C-alpha cells in the first residue's frame, strides 16, 4: 500500500469511527482553505504560546465539526504549510511564489512573529515594503482615466447649493496643480512646459554676442547728389554703404521673454488665487522659486543690466525641474536616488578613502623621484588630492601628471580601483532603479478595479481572546444569577 493510499485509508477510518483511539488522540485534523492537514498534536504544542497550541481546549469557540473531527480555517493553505513546517522544523521560510503582503497578513492571522523568519528569505519578504514606502507619494495612475472621478466631479459641479467659487475653485486648482487630474490639466501642463523650454532657450541666447544690445550693421541706400556745371545743375544717384546701429535681435528676445514672463505671472497669480490654503501655499519652496524667477525680467525693464540682474536672470533655468511633475520616468529617477541615498553615501566614503591613500602616495613618490615639473605640480596634498579625484573618477584632465615610474604605477592602480568602485555604484543604482521602475509601470498598467472592498477578518489570537472573555463573562453572569 502506497503512503497516499495509507493516508486515505486512515482518514476513512477516522470518519467511520473505526480508527484506533491512539491515533485519534495523537493527531488533529485541520482543514485550511479546503486542504486537509493532519499534524501530530505534539507538533502544534512545540511552541506553547501560539494559538494553534490551544485549539484543542477551545473546540466550541472555533469552527469545529464533531462528526468529521475537523477544524476549519478559511485561510491560504500554501502559507499554512509553511507555518506547519515552522512548527515541525523550527525554520520559518517564505516561498518566492507567494506575495510578501499576503504572507505578512497570514502570519499575523496565525499569531506568528515575522522576525522568526530565516535570513535567506527575509530580503525577498520585505523588499515590497521599501518599494511601496518610497513610491507611496507617487500616483502612477492618471486620474483622468477614472470614470468614477469624472462623475463625482460632475455631480460636485452641478450642485445648486454651492456658490460659483465653491464649485469652480477645486476644479481650477486641480488643473493648475495636478497635471494628471484631467485631460485639461495635462494640456495646461504641457503648454506651461512649452513656455519653460522657450524661456530657457532665450536665456541661452542672451549669452551669445550677436544678441547682446546695440551693434553696427552695414546699411545700403541710394543717395541723390547734385553738381553745378556750366550747363546748369546736374542730379545723379549714388549707392552708399555705411554702418548703422541695430537692436533688432535684442528686441526679439525681449519680446519672447516678455510673453513667457507674462504667462508665468498669470499662472502664479492663478495658483495664488485658487489655492485651498494661502498658508500652505506660502510654505512650499517651489512657489517661492516660481516667484523669484519672474522678477528678473521686470527688473530688466526698469533698470539697466547689471551683474546682479544677470545672475537673477540665469536662475530662471531652475524652472526645468517642473518636468519632474509631469514625466513619470523622472519622478521614478528622483525617488530612486532618494531611496539609494544610503548606498550612495557609503560609496562616496569608499571612494574618498582610496583617494586620500593614493594622493598621499603620489605626493611622496613625486617628491622623491619626480622631475622639476612634477615637483611644481605635486607641491601639496590638496593638489595631489585633486589629481586623485580626477584619476579615480576616470576623467583625466591631464593638467597634473606624474613623471616618475613609481608615480605612474600608483596612477595605474588608482585608475583600476576607480573603475571598480564606479562600476559597483552603477550596478547598485541600476538595480534599484529597475525595481522602482518596474513597480511603477505595473501600477500604471494594472486594470482599473471595478469593485473595491475590505474584508473584516480578525486574527486567530484575537478570536480566541474575544471568545474566552465572552465565555468568562457568561460564567460570571450565570454564577451571579444562581447566587
* Number of domains making up the chain: 3
217's grid cell: 550693421
Same domain (yes/no): 51, 121: yes
Q: Which domain holds residue 423?
A: 332-445
| pLDDT tens digits along 49-67 | 888 988 888 888 888 988 8
Same domain (yes/no): 421, 358: yes
Sign of the CA dihedral 386, 387, 390, 392? negative
Q: For the domain that residue 372 is a member of, what is the CATH number?
A: 1.10.287.70
Task: Identify which has the larger pLDDT, 344 or 212.
Answer: 344
The answer as to whether 19 is a domain residue is no
Same domain (yes/no): 207, 260: yes
Per-residue DSSP letter, 449: P
Q: For the domain that residue 37 is a member of, what is the CATH number?
A: 3.30.710.10
Cα gap 133→251, rounded to integer Å: 51
Give the CA count within 13 Å in the CB-facing half-sphere of 356. Answer: 6
Mean pLDDT of 400-414: 92
Same domain (yes/no): 313, 369: no
| pLDDT tens digits along 143-181 | 444 444 455 555 555 667 778 787 788 888 888 888 877
| pLDDT tens digits along 112-151 | 988 899 989 988 888 777 666 666 655 555 444 444 445 5
pLDDT at 107 over 70: yes
Alpha helix positions (H), 20-93: 21-26, 41-44, 77-89
Mean pLDDT of 447-471: 63
The answer as to whether 429 is a domain residue is yes
Which of 328, 352, 367 terminates a domain? The answer is 328
The answer as to whether 233 is a domain residue is no
Q: Which residues contact 278 (CB under 8 A, 6 or more apart)?
A: 272
Which of 281, 310, 328 terminates a domain? The answer is 328
Same domain (yes/no): 281, 187: yes
Q: What is the pLDDT of residue 409?
A: 94
Same domain (yes/no): 99, 197: no
415's grid cell: 585608475
| pLDDT tens digits along 86-103 | 999 999 999 888 888 889
The answer as to whether 13 is a domain residue is no
Q: For the domain that residue 282 is a member of, what is the CATH number?
A: 1.20.120.350
Q: What region, left, alpha or beta, does residue 11 occupy, with left being phi > 0 and alpha being psi -120 to 50 degrees?
A: alpha
Same domain (yes/no): 108, 203: no
Same domain (yes/no): 341, 322: no
| pLDDT tens digits along 269-317 | 999 999 988 899 998 888 888 888 888 778 877 777 777 777 777 777 7
- 182-187 — which CB contacts under 8 Å span 24+ positions? 182/143, 182/144, 182/150, 182/153, 183/144, 185/144, 186/142, 186/144, 186/326
The answer as to whether 9 is a domain residue is no
Cα gap 436→468, rounded to integer Å: 46
Same domain (yes/no): 293, 409: no
pLDDT at 432 over 80: no
Could you count the other beta carbons within 10 Å of the beta carbon of residue 80? Answer: 20
For residues 432 and 339, the answer to whether their CB atoms sit within 8 Å is yes
Q: What is the pLDDT of residue 284?
A: 87
Cα gap 153→172, rounded to integer Å: 12
Amino acid at each position: 500500500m502506497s503512503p497516499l493510499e495509507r493516508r486515505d485509508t486512515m482518514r476513512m477510518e477516522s470518519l467511520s469511527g473505526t480508527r484506533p483511539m491512539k491515533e485519534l488522540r495523537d493527531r488533529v485534523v485541520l482543514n485550511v482553505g479546503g486542504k486537509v492537514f493532519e499534524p501530530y498534536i505534539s507538533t502544534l504544542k512545540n511552541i506553547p504560546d501560539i494559538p494553534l497550541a490551544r485549539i484543542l481546549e477551545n473546540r466550541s469557540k472555533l469552527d469545529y465539526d464533531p462528526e468529521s473531527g475537523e477544524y476549519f480555517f478559511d485561510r491560504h493553505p500554501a502559507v499554512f504549510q509553511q507555518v506547519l513546517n515552522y512548527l515541525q522544523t523550527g525554520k520559518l521560510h517564505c516561498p518566492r511564489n507567494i506575495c510578501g503582503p499576503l504572507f505578512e497578513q497570514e502570519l499575523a492571522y496565525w499569531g506568528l512573529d515575522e522576525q522568526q523568519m530565516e535570513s535567506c528569505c527575509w530580503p525577498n519578504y520585505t523588499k515590497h515594503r521599501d518599494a511601496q514606502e518610497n513610491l507611496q507619494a507617487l500616483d502612477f495612475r492618471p486620474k483622468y482615466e477614472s470614470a468614477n472621478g469624472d462623475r463625482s466631479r460632475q455631480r460636485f459641479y452641478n450642485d445648486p447649493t454651492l456658490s460659483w467659487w465653491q464649485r469652480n475653485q477645486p476644479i481650477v486648482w486641480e488643473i493648475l496643480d495636478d497635471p494628471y487630474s484631467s485631460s485639461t490639466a495635462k494640456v495646461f501642463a504641457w503648454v506651461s512646459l512649452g513656455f519653460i523650454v522657450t524661456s530657457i532657450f532665450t536665456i541661452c541666447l542672451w549669452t551669445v554676442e550677436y544678441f547682446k544690445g546695440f551693434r553696427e550693421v552695414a546699411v545700403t541706400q541710394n543717395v541723390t547728389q547734385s553738381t553745378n556745371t556750366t550747363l546748369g545743375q546736374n542730379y545723379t544717384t549714388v549707392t552708399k554703404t555705411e554702418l548703422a546701429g541695430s537692436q533688432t535681435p535684442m528686441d526679439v528676445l525681449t519680446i519672447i521673454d516678455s510673453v513667457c514672463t507674462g504667462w508665468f505671472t498669470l499662472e502664479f497669480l492663478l495658483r495664488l488665487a485658487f489655492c485651498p490654503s494661502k498658508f500652505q501655499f506660502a510654505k512650499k519652496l517651489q512657489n517661492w522659486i516660481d516667484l523669484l524667477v519672474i522678477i528678473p525680467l521686470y527688473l530688466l525693464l526698469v533698470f539697466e543690466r547689471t551683474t546682479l540682474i544677470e545672475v537673477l536672470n540665469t536662475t530662471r533655468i531652475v524652472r526645468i525641474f517642473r518636468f519632474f511633475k509631469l514625466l513619470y520616468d523622472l519622478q521614478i529617477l528622483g525617488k530612486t536616488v532618494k531611496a539609494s541615498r544610503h548606498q550612495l553615501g557609503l560609496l562616496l566614503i569608499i571612494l574618498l578613502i582610496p583617494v586620500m591613500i593614493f594622493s598621499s602616495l603620489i605626493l611622496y613618490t613625486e617628491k622623491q623621484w619626480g622631475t622639476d615639473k612634477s615637483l611644481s605640480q605635486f607641491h601639496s596634498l590638496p593638489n595631489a588630492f585633486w589629481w586623485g579625484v580626477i584619476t579615480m573618477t576616470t576623467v583625466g584632465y591631464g593638467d597634473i601628471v606624474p613623471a616618475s615610474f613609481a608615480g605612474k604605477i600608483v596612477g595605474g592602480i588608482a585608475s583600476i580601483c576607480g573603475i571598480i568602485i564606479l562600476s559597483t555604484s552603477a550596478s547598485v543604482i541600476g538595480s534599484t532603479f529597475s525595481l522602482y521602475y518596474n513597480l511603477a509601470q505595473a501600477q500604471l498598467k494594472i486594470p482599473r478595479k471595478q469593485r473595491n472592498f475590505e474584508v473584516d477578518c480578525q486574527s486567530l489570537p484575537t478570536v480566541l481572546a474575544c471568545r474566552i472573555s465572552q465565555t468568562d463573562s457568561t460564567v460570571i453572569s450565570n454564577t451571579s444569577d444562581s447566587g
